[in-house]
């Protein structure tokens, strides 16, 4: 089975009903994790740590879904753009 990387990140949102960050320079990168279970544990710890801040949210990004090694790359990707 291939490794399925996950990124946990978060920060202060402009509006708690949306996913727009107030300042992208202040996004907290918690880390990259080798599986969903570890990413979830990290996400949960940060969510609990910031529970009193209604505008702060953390997310799990499924990095393994961004690229499928079996799919042929586009001409732009081959150029390194």
> Exposure string (b/e) for 45-72, b if CB count within 10 Å is 16 or more?
ebeeebeeeeebbbebeeeeeeeeeeee
What's 79's DSSP letter?
A: T
Q: State pLDDT tens for residues 4-32.
A: 899 999 999 999 999 999 999 999 999 99
- pTM for this one? 0.78
Q: How many CB atoms within 10 Å of residue 80? A: 5
Summarize pLDDT for 25-40 with one digit per residue, the tens.
999 999 999 999 999 9
Dihedral of CA atoms 4, 45, 55, 23 in degrees, nearest 10, equals: -60
Distance in angstroms (rounded) separating the CA atoms of residues 14 and 72? 38
């Amino acid at each position: 089975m291939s490794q399925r990387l996950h990124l946990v990140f978060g920060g202060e949102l402009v509006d708690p009903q949306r996913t727009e960050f107030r300042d992208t320079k202040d996004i907290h990168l918690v880390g990259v994790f080798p599986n969903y279970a570890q990413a979830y544990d990290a996400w949960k710890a940060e969510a609990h740590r910031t529970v009193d801040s209604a505008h702060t949210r953390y997310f799990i990004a499924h990095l393994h879904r961004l690229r499928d090694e079996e799919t042929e790359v586009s001409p732009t990707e081959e150029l390194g753009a």
